[in-house]
Amino acid sequence: MIVKNTGSETNIKLPFSFIFFSILALLISQFLILLNGDAFINGHFRIPAIWSAAHLFILGWALMIAMGAMYQLVPVAFLTPIWNEKFGFIQFAVTTIGVVSFAIALYIIPSKALIPGIIMLMGIVMFLIQMGMTLRKQAKPNILTLFVGSALVCLFLTIILGISLVISMKTGFASNYYSILFHSHLLLGISGWFTLLIFGFSYKMAPMFSLSHGYEMKLAKYVYSIYVTGLLSILLSFIFNFSWLFKCGFFLLLIGFSCFIWHIYLILKKRVKKKLDLPFRFALLAIIFGEMIHLLAFIASISNQFPSFAAPLIVAYIMLWIAFSIIGYLYKIVPFLWWTHKYSHVIGKKDVPALKDMINERLALPIFLSFIFGILLVSMSIALNGQMLFYIGQLLVTAASIVFGIAILAVIKK
């Protein structure tokens, strides 16, 4: 079969707009956490400053970066161009206004967060329309489409639940169900949207970065069905308050994640590239952390201790699994984006740099180690209520975020 040129490369300004904004959001969120250390180590996560920092980190950094990366990865992974680039720029502007005003409102007057929340919702709905229309054009949907499509559905539900929470806070609407809405919002946001998205794109990127060949994809179906059933089981447990359903859900999430880690191991066993790049190894380390956190969450649920450990488990999940996966992959994606923009048209005409020459790889190790030790210290500080540990840990994370931002921004000078 002869394949036509896809012409599916996205205008670089679109993913880069998201990436630049997200780095700024990362830095501000880390500074906000640093400045509110007392509340953080005492487990007072539900105060305006921490809400603002958490949403800036999750929405301003992780969500915006996921959106930017998807504008680049969806066309290449699914062999279909983005539905409407102009719409993408408008979506970026709307989401940015929404995220910034929402974070400010949460910090200053949480009761006035509804309008900014609705603007943000509009931005995210626009993104969902964009991705839905793009994926619809895919000639042959596959298991990756299912992972990414389901992740997008979870994102939509997360935002609807989030807006319901804001309305509930403001008007008392559905106040009896506040806890169900809040827990479902967290579950679908972090385990539904982010985890399913990372699963989906890892299946594309892990073989690509390791040059794996001749591996089976059958296991991915089990990963999907077991993990999604686990999510549904926990959601139902929130609604019907059945503790066995809650435990069963965490068991299924653990099994689903274990199947995923086993599958990635089998894929990597078939790799041609012997030595894997450091940023990719960091993304693989995130999978190991993810597995450990799923195991701890399951143990906490069967020993009826989950409520006591929920906060540190969620923080660890967001940082060690979601954030580390994003950081590792971003270290690979950004050089590729800039390389494509700058050198794609001269390849074959003159010498072009390799992708690993586009970003300072020597900085990768200190950045990644600072993130790991910083987050471990912050987690310990929450558990031990240690102020000094928190400040050392959070300073390390903040410093690593700054150097990470500089390394990413420096790519455009290459």
Partner 1 sequence: MNLKEQIALVDKIREHLKKVMDPELNINVVDLGLIYDVSLIEENAVEIVMTLTTPGCPLHDSIIGGVKHCVLELEEIDHADIQLVWEPAWSPEKMTEAGLKAIGR
Give residues in contact with partner 1 (CB under 8 A). 1-9, 72-73, 76-79, 204, 207-209, 211, 213-214, 272-275, 336, 339-340, 343-349, 351-356
Contact 26, 286 (CB under 8 A): no
In whole angstroms, how close is the CB of 214 to partner 1 at the nearest point? 7
- Of 214 and 307, the one with the shorter C-beta distance to partner 1 is 214
Kindly state the tokens that stand for 194. Answer: 């982010």
Angstrom distance (rounded) from CA 251 to CA 16 = 39
Residue among 374, 254, 354 at smallest CA distance from 302: 254
- Of 324 and 339, the one with the shorter C-beta distance to partner 1 is 339
What b-and-e string marks burial along 324-338, b requiring 16 or more CB atoms within 10 Å of the CB?
Answer: bbbbbbbbbbbbbbb
Contacts 24+ apart (CB under 8 A), 343-349: 344/9
In whole angstroms, how close is the CB of 79 to partner 1 at the nearest point? 6
φ/ψ of 303, rounded to 5, equals: -95, 15
- Of 10 and 158, the one with the shorter C-beta distance to partner 1 is 10
- Of 88 and 290, the one with the shorter C-beta distance to partner 1 is 88
- Of 340 and 387, the one with the shorter C-beta distance to partner 1 is 340
In whole angstroms, how close is the CB of 73 to partner 1 at the nearest point? 8
- Of 9 and 291, the one with the shorter C-beta distance to partner 1 is 9
In whole angstroms, how close is the CB of 207 to partner 1 at the nearest point? 7
In whole angstroms, how close is the CB of 138 to partner 1 at the nearest point? 11
Angstrom distance (rounded) from CA 290 to CA 258 = 9
In whole angstroms, how close is the CB of 144 to partner 1 at the nearest point? 9
Angstrom distance (rounded) from CA 391 to CA 393 = 5
- Of 104 and 355, the one with the shorter C-beta distance to partner 1 is 355
In whole angstroms, how close is the CB of 132 to partner 1 at the nearest point? 19
In whole angstroms, how close is the CB of 282 to partner 1 at the nearest point? 17
- Of 208 and 261, the one with the shorter C-beta distance to partner 1 is 208
Q: Is the dihedral of CA 75, 406, 328, 182 positive or negative?
A: negative
- Of 65 and 163, the one with the shorter C-beta distance to partner 1 is 65
> Which are the contacts of 235, defined by CB distance < 8 A and separation ≥ 6?
184, 187, 188, 249
In whole angstroms, how close is the CB of 373 to partner 1 at the nearest point? 30
In whole angstroms, how close is the CB of 333 to partner 1 at the nearest point? 9
Contact 130, 82 (CB under 8 A): yes
Residue among 233, 194, 163 at smallest CA distance from 64: 194
- Of 112 and 204, the one with the shorter C-beta distance to partner 1 is 204
Kindly state the tokens that stand for 257. Answer: 């994640």
Task: Give burial (CB, 10 Å; 0-12/13-18/19+) of 223.
Answer: buried
Angstrom distance (rounded) from CA 144 to CA 150 = 10
Angstrom distance (rounded) from CA 322 to CA 344 = 31
> Which are the contacts of 345, defined by CB distance < 8 A and separation ≥ 6?
none
